[in-house]
Amino acid sequence: QEYVLIKLAVLEPFPSVLEPLSGRRVFLAAATLRPETMYGQTNCWIAPEGSYGAYQVNAAGDVFIMTERAARNLAYQAWSPTFGQICCLLGPFLGRELIGTAVRAPLSVYHPVYVLPMTSVSTGKGTGIVTSVPSDSPDDYRALQDLKEKPAFRQKFGVADAWVLPFEAVPIIEVPEFGSLSAQAACIKYKIHSQNDRELLDKAKEEIYLRGFYDGILLVGPHASQRVQTAKPLIRQALLDQDDAVLYSEPERLVISRSG
Ligand code: ZZB
């Protein structure tokens, strides 16, 4: 699986857990398969109970926040000062300590965007950091709605209104039959009312993922009016060229089967 890691720059002043790194270039490294949707980023998701660290990734001293597992994989992809060895500067710490961190999301119409909790973020996949595009991802749409509609949920995680309420899904891709806010349309179609409706969310995700890729038309940016299929590799390359992203592959999951 090859992901694009979007570099979400942490803005000063750093949250207390990252204070020792103040003055350095620190990024939340968000793994995505949909670089063409970055115009619609509204926030960043972390697993509140997940374990994260801060890892130096090059000789220049740049720092990525991610899971240790992702840091190990990256160290074998030349993203560490010494090949194959992780360089942990801080941690482990819990994802919840990052909630409310302000970051710059490349290409997004919003600046800054904030780190928020989502229960379905897995620390066993990607980097454990996910960038949120509620226009085109049903998971992101539903989790953002949960925070907007359920004040108790915001309270539970210490989420301030200002990190959530001003952020609306941005129409960035037109999908036939689903319109320009396809994730919202899919959540209505499948009657999804919570980020924990896992089976329904997977159905919705699969459907609009395919429709968006094959039939979607981009509405914004230099590739507006082009097909997603055409624009995707161009936007991906632009992000890499601008140093706003790096590539990250994950080994195939090892399945050990035993007989007898
Ligand atoms: C932005 C985006 C915009 C995404 C979209 C999807 C969609 P897959 O196929 O299951 O690997 N993701 C990445 N890492 C994690 C994680 N650790 N836990 C939970 N979710 C994660 O899915 C890859 C997608 O799942 C990634 O692409 C990321 O969200 C999320 F419009 O990034 B995506 C219909 C989907 N639309």
Q: Can you give the pLDDT of all 260 residues of the chain as single tens digits?
A: 899 999 999 999 999 999 999 999 999 999 999 999 999 999 999 999 999 999 999 999 999 999 999 999 999 999 999 999 999 999 999 999 999 999 999 999 999 999 999 999 999 999 999 999 999 999 999 999 999 999 999 999 999 999 999 999 999 999 999 999 999 999 999 999 999 999 999 999 999 999 998 999 999 999 999 999 999 999 999 999 999 999 999 987 766 655 43
Instruction: Using the mean position of ligand 1's atoms as its centre, give its distance from the Cα of residue 179 in Å.
Output: 20
Between CA 239 and CA 33 the distance in angstroms is 13
- Sign of the torsion formed by the C-alpha atoms of 19, 46, 244 and 162: negative
Fold of 2-249: Isoleucyl-tRNA Synthetase; domain 2 (3.90.740)
Residue with CA nearest ligand 1 atom 25: 32
Instruction: Using the mean position of ligand 1's atoms as its centre, give its distance from the Cα of residue 258 in Å.
Output: 31
256 CB neighbour count, 10 Å cutoff: 4
Q: ipTM beyond 0.85?
A: yes
Decide: 133 in ligand 1 pocket, CB within 6 A.
yes
Write down the H helix ranges in the chain: 68-75, 138-149, 151-156, 182-189, 198-215, 228-241
- The dihedrals phi and psi of 127, each to the nearest 5 degrees, come to -110, -5
Decide: 34 in ligand 1 pocket, CB within 6 A.
yes
What are the residue ranges spanned by the domains of the chain?
2-249
| pTM > 0.80 | yes
Q: Both tokens of residue 101? A: 């961190």
221 and 173 Cβ atoms separated by less than 8 Å: no
Instruction: Using the mean position of ligand 1's atoms as its centre, give its distance from the Cα of residue 259 in Å.
Output: 34
List Cα–Cα distances, 226 to 108, 171, 222, in angstroms. 19, 15, 9
Give the strand pairing for 113-117 and 43-46. Answer: parallel
- Sign of the torsion formed by the C-alpha atoms of 185, 188, 191 and 192: positive
Instruction: For ligand 1, pick from 3, 5, 34 the residue to mutate: most ligand atoms within 8 Å of CB.
Output: 34
Instruction: Using the mean position of ligand 1's atoms as its centre, give its distance from the Cα of residue 130 in Å.
Output: 7
Which positions ≥6 away from 229 have C-beta within 8 Å? Answer: 213, 214
104 and 12 Cβ atoms separated by less than 8 Å: no
Between CA 150 and CA 164 the distance in angstroms is 11
